[in-house]
Amino acid sequence: MNWFELTGTIYRIFETQTFPSGFSKREFILLTDDAYPQKIRFECLKERCALLDGVREGDHVSVSFRIRGSEYNDRFFVNLQAQEVVLTGGEAGATNARLPEGRDGRDLEKKGDAPPPRPPEEGEDMPF
């Protein structure tokens, strides 16, 4: 399974939603560090809802996630499921918000830093 990583600022954190089946979900919005910042919605499922307990709106973080797709009644949906949320800026001594290693049966490998975003070239003033 492919894993991806984005960095940015926590724009909004929503309350945990618990459903009658016992399933829980918590969503948050990340404002990316791109030349044209975007607000991207992520979700944390089940025990991963706790990843956001030590994170506040305005914190700079790195999010490791996987992309999940589904189909329902010939409509297609894409969800970004956060697997790890790491504080990357702020006060000294900030802790990482992550589950203990092997909790989901696999190690989450630390990825290298992503290259910085490319500055827009002359004439590239459109945000898409």
Distances (CA, A) of 120 to 36, 73, 94, 114: 9, 40, 33, 18
User: In this structure, is residue 44 part of a structural domain?
Assistant: yes
pLDDT for 65-102, tens place per residue? Answer: 999 999 999 999 999 999 999 999 744 334 444 444 44
Domains contained in the chain, number: 1
User: In this structure, is residue 68 part of a structural domain?
Assistant: yes
User: In this structure, is residue 62 part of a structural domain?
Assistant: yes
Residue 107 pLDDT level (bands cut at 50, 70, 90): very low
Threshold 0.75, pTM exceeds = no
Q: Is 127 exposed, middle or buried (0-12, 13-18, 19+ CB in 10 A)?
A: exposed
CATH of the domain at 63: 2.40.50.140
User: In this structure, is residue 29 part of a structural domain?
Assistant: yes
pLDDT of residue 89: 76
User: In this structure, is residue 10 part of a structural domain?
Assistant: yes
Question: Residue 30 in contact with residue 63, Cβ under 8 Å?
Answer: yes
User: In this structure, is residue 114 part of a structural domain?
Assistant: no
* Mean pLDDT calculated for residue range 41-50: 93
pLDDT for 7-35, tens place per residue? Answer: 999 999 999 999 999 899 999 999 999 99
User: In this structure, is residue 117 part of a structural domain?
Assistant: no
pLDDT of residue 75: 95
User: In this structure, is residue 125 part of a structural domain?
Assistant: no
